[in-house]
Structures are given as structure tokens and as C-alpha cells.
């Protein structure tokens, strides 16, 4: 992609938002110069502007692009991201209720592991499991956004409303089959699609279709067909991948998972102190030594850190800091 082509793409991307505002002159110049690798100081020098001003124009531009594209765009990664974005535009995607992940911190190791499993090692079933609020949904969206260009079809769905399999297939098959879709919404037909096309399916909140409190991960009555679907996706040869997230692991998945097998599971733990602190900073809490205690107290659980501005959380926060011996926390 040349700089001019990239400029056109960025302009179109920004015009597609609710603001419908493309690039202005100064943004265009800063973009083109950044594209060829010039530093802000060099650009400022060339244009006769103040360096801080050029930096501000650049930062604002990357921020706006991050919001639309769903990945953190910077001067350093703009080429790679736009290339990926351009490729993804040729695939069919349906993101359902997928959350916005433009403010996403850390998880680089997990993203690297998961994308290797799916991209290089062609895993057919990948599970992301962990406690409530630990970040499974967010990570699944971030991952799918990052690897979307490797797939002809990307479909993201939440099972939170305990969606019967027939209803789900009735939504997915027309997306995969277009005008060839019929009233047949069988697992057989889906498997055929997964063989013929490279599809990425993400099903979030699998615990909603499992019996609650049942550690064996047995399915709720009426949802047993999902077991058959998952097992066939794990066992049969096809070129697609299903990512499932949940607080509990569905039965029979553990026995199929393995380091060198096409079925893998990742047990997600909390964010590191540095990553967790970024959530607190984004919430408007200034950096303070007590934050490390807070992140540790909440086990790096991003949901707990995200809600720490509520009155109740302030109480927890006060308790946590006093328990941990840092009583002078101010909020």
C-alpha cells in the first residue's frame, strides 16, 4: 500500500463514523510523513510547526483511528494495522454484541499464544476460561479483531441469553451461505461450511448453557445439542476455528485438549500490576504506590478495578488499603 492509498483508506475510515469527518490538511500531511517513517521533530521542522503541536495532531489521529478500528493504533504500528484492516474488509463479518476494545491494556502474552494456536497451529477449538470479570469477553474480541484478516468469515455471538442451538444456527448459516441458505439449520450443514470456508466463530459466555454449580460442565437440559456441535468441531477435519469463552469448561473438552492437539484451553488469570494500574489511571485515579496494593487486592481482576469509582468500591478500596497498611489513601 502506498502512502496515498493509505491516506485514502484512513480518510474513508474516519468518514464512516458518526462524525463523518475525514482528514483535514494538517492531519493528511502528518499522516503521510509518519507513513514514510519521519519523526515528529522532522515533520515539524519540514512544515515549520511547533513539534508539540505536530505530536498532538498525530496522537489525536491515532486515537480516532483506534476507536474506529478497535485496535490501538500508533505511529509505529500504523502500517501493519492498516494492512490488516484492508484485508479484513474483504471478509464477511458479524460482530453481534461484541464490546468496544479500543481501551485495552496488557495481555500481550495471551494474545500471542492464542494467535499462534489459531494462525500457525490451526487449532479447531480454543477455550478461554476464568473467573467472572477476569477479561474473557474483552480478550476474545481483541483477539478476533487482531486475527480477523486470516478468515473469510468472522462471527461473534454471546450465549448469555441461553440461545438454543437451532436459533444460533438459524443466525449463523445465512451469514455463511448467503443466498444459498435454506431452512435446514443442522449441525451437518454448519460442519460443511466450516470445511469449505475458513471461518472464525466466537461464542461468549458458554456457562449460560451449562448446569450451574456443576463442576463437570454438563449441559443444561435442552442445550445438549451444543455438546454434539463442540465435539464435532473438535474432532472433525475442517479449516475453521471456534473460540469459546466461559466461567466453566464444558464437559469432554478437557480430555480433548493438549499442547500438541487441535483443541486448546487457556486459563485466564488477572492482569499484572502495571496493566491493572493502567485501568485505574484511565478511570482518573492518579498513579500512587497504593495502586499496586489495590491491583493485588483484587487479584488483577479488571472488572473489580473498572468499578472502583463506585461508592461501594470506594469502601472496598478503603478497606483494602487499610488492610494492606496504606491508610493514607485519598479518594
Ligand X SMILES: Nc1ncnc2c1ncn2[C@@H]1O[C@H](COP(=O)(O)OP(=O)(O)OP(=O)(O)O)[C@@H](O)[C@H]1O
Residues 159-218 that bind ligand X (CB under 6 A): 205
Any contact of residue 70 with ligand X (CB under 6 A)? no
Binding site for Mg ion (CB under 5 A): 137
What is the C-alpha separation between 235 and 305, in angstroms, rounded? 39
Q: Are 120 and 60 in contact (CB under 8 A)?
A: no
What is the C-alpha separation between 193 and 196, in angstroms, rounded? 5
Range in contact with ligand X (rule: CB under 6 A) among 49-57, 99-107, 184-192, 250-258: 99-107
Q: How far is CA 241 from CA 53, 82, 192, 233, in A?
A: 45, 24, 13, 8
Residues 124-143 that bind ligand X (CB under 6 A): 130, 132-138
* Closer residue to ligand X, CB minimum distance, 40 or 105: 105
Q: Which does 306 bind (CB under 5 to 8 A by kind): ligand X, Mg ion, none?
A: ligand X
252: its cell numbers: 469432554
Q: Give which of 14, 109, 27, 118 is closest to 68, Cα–Cα.
A: 14
Q: Which does 276 bind (CB under 5 to 8 A by kind): ligand X, Mg ion, none?
A: none
Any contact of residue 111 with ligand X (CB under 6 A)? no
Any contact of residue 104 with ligand X (CB under 6 A)? yes
Residue 129 DSSP SS3: strand
Min dist CB 247 to ligand X, Å, is 5
Q: Closest-CB residue for Mg ion?
A: 137
Decide the pairing of beta strands 199-204 and 241-246.
Answer: parallel
Any contact of residue 106 with ligand X (CB under 6 A)? yes
Q: Are 106 and 173 in contact (CB under 8 A)?
A: no
* Closer residue to ligand X, CB minimum distance, 63 or 103: 103
In 159-219 the beta strands, taken as DSSP E runs, fall at 199-204
Q: Closest-CB residue for ligand X?
A: 135
What is the C-alpha separation between 17 and 106, in angstroms, rounded? 27
* Closer residue to Mg ion, CB minimum distance, 208 or 293: 208
Count of residues that interact with ligand X, criterion CB under 6 A? 19
Identify any residues that bridge with 154 across adjacent strands, giving them in sequence order.
Answer: 93, 200
Min dist CB 291 to Mg ion, Å, is 24
Q: How far is CA 215 from CA 211, 212, 249, 252, 274, in A?
A: 9, 8, 8, 12, 33
Any contact of residue 269 with ligand X (CB under 6 A)? no
Min dist CB 173 to ligand X, Å, is 26
Q: Which does 300 bind (CB under 5 to 8 A by kind): Mg ion, ligand X, none?
A: none
Q: Are 40 and 48 in contact (CB under 8 A)?
A: no
What is the C-alpha separation between 235 and 253, in angstroms, rounded? 11
Min dist CB 126 to ligand X, Å, is 15
Q: Which does 329 bind (CB under 5 to 8 A by kind): Mg ion, ligand X, none?
A: none
Residues that bind ligand X in the complex, under the rule CB under 6 A: 103-107, 130, 132-138, 205, 247, 279, 302-303, 306
Amino acid at each position: 500500500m502506498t502512502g496515498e492509498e493509505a491516506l485514502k483508506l484512513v480518510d474513508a475510515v474516519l468518514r464512516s463514523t458518526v462524525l463523518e469527518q475525514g482528514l483535514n490538511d494538517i492531519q493528511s500531511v502528518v499522516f503521510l510523513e509518519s507513513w514514510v517513517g519521519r519523526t515528529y521533530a522532522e515533520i515539524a521542522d519540514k512544515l515549520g510547526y511547533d513539534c508539540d503541536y505536530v505530536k498532538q495532531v498525530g496522537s489525536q489521529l491515532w486515537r480516532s483511528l483506534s476507536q474506529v478500528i478497535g485496535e490501538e493504533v500508533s505511529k509505529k504500528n500504523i502500517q501493519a494495522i492498516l494492512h490488516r484492516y484492508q484485508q479484513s474488509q474483504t471478509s464477511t463479518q458479524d460482530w453481534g454484541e461484541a464490546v468496544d476494545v479500543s481501551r485495552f491494556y496488557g495481555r500481550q502474552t495471551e494474545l500471542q499464544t492464542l494467535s499462534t494456536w489459531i494462525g500457525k497451529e490451526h487449532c479447531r477449538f480454543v477455550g478461554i476460561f476464568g473467573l467472572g470479570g477476569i477479561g474473557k469477553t474483552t480478550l476474545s474480541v481483541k483477539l478476533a479483531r487482531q486475527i480477523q484478516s486470516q478468515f473469510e468469515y468472522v462471527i461473534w455471538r454471546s450465549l448469555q441469553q441461553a440461545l438454543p442451538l437451532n436459533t444460533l444456527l438459524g443466525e449463523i448459516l445465512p451469514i455463511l451461505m448467503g443466498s444459498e441458505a435454506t431452512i435446514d439449520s443442522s449441525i451437518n450443514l454448519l460442519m460443511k461450511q466450516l470445511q469449505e470456508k475458513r471461518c472464525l466463530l466466537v461464542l461468549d459466555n458458554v456457562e449460560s448453557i451449562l448446569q450451574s454449580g456443576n463442576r463437570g460442565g454438563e449441559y443444561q437440559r435442552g442445550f445438549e445439542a451444543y455438546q454434539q456441535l463442540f465435539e464435532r468441531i473438535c474432532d472433525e477435519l475442517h479449516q475453521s476455528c471456534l473460540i469459546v469463552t466461559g466461567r466453566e469448561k464444558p464437559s469432554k473438552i478437557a480430555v480433548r485438549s493438549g499442547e500438541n492437539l487441535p483443541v486448546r484451553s487457556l486459563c485466564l488469570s488477572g492482569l499484572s500490576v502495571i496493566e491493572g494500574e493502567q485501568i485505574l489511571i484511565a478511570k482518573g485515579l492518579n498513579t500512587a504506590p497504593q495502586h499496586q496494593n489495590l491491583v493485588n487486592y483484587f487479584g488483577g481482576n479488571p472488572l473489580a478495578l473498572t468499578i472502583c469509582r463506585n461508592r461501594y468500591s470506594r469502601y472496598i478500596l478503603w478497606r483494602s488499603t487499610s488492610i494492606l497498611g496504606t491508610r493514607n489513601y485519598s479518594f
